[in-house]
Structure 1
Amino acid sequence: MLRTARGLLLSQGFGATTIAQIAGAAGVSAESVYKNFGGKPGLVRAIYEESLLGSGEVPAEERSDAAQRAAEDPRALMAQLGRFVAEVSPLGSPVQLLIRDAAAGGDSAMAALLREVDDARYARMLHNARQVIARGLLAPGLGEVQVADVFFAVTSAELYETLVLKRGWTPERLGRFVEATLVANLLGT
């Protein structure tokens, strides 16, 4: 059901896609969609949360935490973080952009979801910042808010939109750009 809903929502847009269309294409009843997700905003939330898992067998967030705990070489960690962005952005960024556009179109439930997604993403970036600072992997003098802001910027759906969707970069090239940006801003080299 989520795969079908994702395809329809991303191809048609939030406003143009109905629960009846999703249910029909997924071979379930509309009531089943409402029962499981509470409507389109809940369905979009579930699609977004699924996208954050990444494409590996272990959720991307867990792999990121493990990489940060195990890192000895700061440059290698920045390369790994760039690879995580290359993996997760093609899954999550289109959904974030769908949420953003629906919120901009006046849907109050999607506006609330956008705030929730942004707040959760920033909380995660603050968590990451605290981990790498505690490990002593960054240039001296960087505070957790400054580091979290850099992480937040390079993981934004808008960066993916600009470089991948508008400029035709591959996700891998975006990942290398993220790596270089992190090195320049957080390692001071």
Structure 2
Amino acid sequence: MSEAVKGSGGVRNYDSSRRRERANESRREVLSRARELLLSQGFGTTTIAQIARAAGVSGEFVYKNFGGKPGLVRAIYDESLLGIADTPAEARSDRAQQTETDPRALMAQFGRFVAEISPLGSPVLLLIRDAAASGDADMAVLLREVDDLRYQRMLHNARQVISRELLRPGLSEAETADVFFAMTSAELYETLVLKRGWTPERLGRFVEATLVAQLL
């Protein structure tokens, strides 16, 4: 009798695990379809109903998991910051800052991170910026939040490299953070990649050269 109960419990656990995995797959599909539609159609034009239909889920599922379009955009942006490797880009960046002893090699690494992350995150930031400029209050709040978080991350980077004495003497944390902040801006990606046709790799090399010139 106890074996039967144990067995049925195992089945229940398996069913619960499968439901969670299906829900996670559906969330990933929603984010993928939302990204496609929002970036191709714009924030104001795209509806939750369109996204749900494209992802094969209900509108209720989207609202329950993401809380509407602003929540979807935030989730898409956060996902973009992970990069394309198995290890999140932020963790890889921290590891490089903690272990790299050659300042020029570290600036090259920063450039490669920009080349990797910008094609994913910058279009979403530009979407947020344009929606905020059109008068959407939720997106204006989101724009301030993501800009502040990005600056805080750049300040974190600045503190790490200054503490290891990898930069030119006399640079302050604020000055260094400002340079990092400018080099990771969506507007730089927009100007050089979207408007001037640079590849992300060329952008990354430009970022590396600028960081070397400004910080070393």
With structure 2 as the length reference, what TM-score do the two structures score?
0.86
1:10 to 23, 30, 39: 39
Instruction: Give matches, 1:64-83, under 5 Å.
Output: 64-83=93-112
Give distance in 2, aligned partners of 1:79 and 1:145.
21
Kindly state the Cα deviation for residue 33 of structure 1 after the two structures are TM-superposed: 0.4
Kindly state the Cα deviation for residue 92 of structure 1 after the two structures are TM-superposed: 0.2
Is residue 159 of structure 1 aligned with residue 183 of structure 2?
no
Kindly state the Cα deviation for residue 5 of structure 1 after the two structures are TM-superposed: 0.3
The structure with the larger Rg is 2
1:88 to 101, 117, 125: 117
Match of 2:170 in 1: 141
Give distance in 1, aligned partners of 2:150 and 2:212.
21
Give me the identity figure in percent. 80
Give distance in 2, aligned partners of 1:3 and 1:63.
24
Is residue 173 of structure 1 aligned with residue 202 of structure 2?
yes
Instruction: Give matches, 1:101-112, under 5 Å.
Output: 101-112=130-141
Matched AA of 1:41: P
Matched AA of 2:42: G
Kindly state the Cα deviation for residue 62 of structure 1 after the two structures are TM-superposed: 0.3
With structure 1 as the length reference, what TM-score do the two structures score?
0.99
Give distance in 1, aligned partners of 2:78 and 2:108.
24
Structure 2, unaligned runs of 5 or more: 1-29
Match of 2:62 in 1: 33
* Cα deviation code 1:63-89 (max 9, x no counterpart): 000000011000000000000000000
Instruction: Give the SS at the match of 1:141.
Output: coil
Structure 1, unaligned runs of 5 or more: none
Q: What's the C-alpha RMSD, in Å, of the aligned pairs? A: 0.3
Match of 2:18 in 1: none
Match of 1:113 in 2: 142
Kindly state the Cα deviation for residue 108 of structure 1 after the two structures are TM-superposed: 0.3
Runs of 4+ with deviation above 2 angstroms:
none
Give distance in 1, aligned partners of 2:94 and 2:134.
36
Instruction: Give the SS at the match of 2:130.
Output: helix
